[in-house]
Structure 1
Amino acid sequence: MNAVETLTLIGRPNAYYPGLAKPLGGVNAAVLFSQLFYWQDKASSNLGVYKTRDELEDETGLTHNEQRTAIKKLSDKGILIVTEKRLDHKTFYKIDNEKVNEVLANFATSINQTPRSEESNCPEVDNVEIGATTKSSSYYQEITTKTTTETTTENTNNIVIADKPQKTRKATQLSDSFKPNEHHSEIANELNINLNDEFIKFKDYCLANGKKYVDWNAGFNNWLRNAGKFKVSNQRNNKQFMTRSERNFEVMRDL
């Protein structure tokens, strides 16, 4: 299997607006905004679109930490409204269209006021009616999940240019402040396991063995998923054992 054939197996490419990276605070913020923008007119709730962190990671490639940073940037600008339904374990994301126009207009103004020698190649920004049949601004293009190889290559180059190399993080021991978060609760509910019990086991195991992690949230994610697999395996083994016992009982009864 060659490289091109492999690409068809790892998912669909994701289209985003590269020109939004500067006004929105970075490539990750632009990628997340573009994906949520795509889903806005498909949302079934007036609170916006419901997405889990894992779904957003599958759709954008952004890790949970990268999503948190991007969400904060968009929320601070007033572009993204985040509503958490804790009892339902759901988070909704809604784009404020008026705020988007305001932010982009202010950015365009600042570009126009920049001396000619310092101007960037950013295209002109006009107000856009979100959800309209046509979009008058040349700044926008239609969002689509189908992109050509050329577009994918261009987006990849933009990401490489815009992102600064990140410093290598060191593994640390378990902190007293580390607690299960909303995403951990979602995993536990999905796998039907007790979050508090598993956290106590995880904490005792790590302290007893001097475990260190670069990302403790990711470490606990893996623990919960393994606990779910272990529970399913035990249930399957117990079912097989009961089946054998019942069969043996039938044999003994016939003797």
Structure 2
Amino acid sequence: MNPIEILIDYWPRLLDGALMTIKLTFLGALIAALVSPGFALIRVRVSPLAQAPLRLYVSFMRGTPILAQLFLIFYGSGQFRPALEDWGLWTFFRDPFNCALLAFALNSTAYQTEILRGGIMGVPQGEIEAAKAVGMTWRKTLARVVFPHAYRIAWPALGNEFILLMKASALASVVTVFDLMGRTRQVFSKTFDFSVYLWAALIYLFMTAVFVFVWRQAERYLSRHIEARERPRTTTPTVKGTQA
């Protein structure tokens, strides 16, 4: 079979795998995005001793391969099946998709926490002092000053993290989650045609390109006031009138 025939015959499976990849990546990044701001604040404001468990978690998730983390959750949970059944959690852990989602969410949370920590530390102290001076509470200062500025600083790095998570989602196929790579392996096992991997790579490239375009548009929107401030102003020359 030529590459075009492979695509025509098996595009529904590849599309199904691509949708699974998007679902797994988006949900994992979304869960991490909801948790990481609180963790980032702990990393910035809490004493080193009090944040030791969080630092240990972040170091473990960033210092070990995501494949090992996936195996620990998927296969390791089976070692604690009686306890998980008593707690009513076995239904969750016996589903490969749930285990893969948990692994990616935990991994992305660690990275997003550190990225946001850097963003928060990059907020000028003068802006925080100005917010206090006008009578803002700490919550309002976080919502209106600290986090908006921190996200503008961290936005490119957060985009890179999302892309890395999308590519790492290919590892989900090793625990029988049929994402794009899992479907590609299925097709290859039937056709033994390496061109299916080329199509998979092109689909990954397309998804990444679309995401980068959308992310950059969002970055421009977030930084629109900065671009407007840096744009050179054009002045209209005034013509003096003559008096009779």
Of Structure 1 and Structure 2, the greater helix share is in: 2
TM-score between the two structures when normalised by the length of structure 1: 0.32
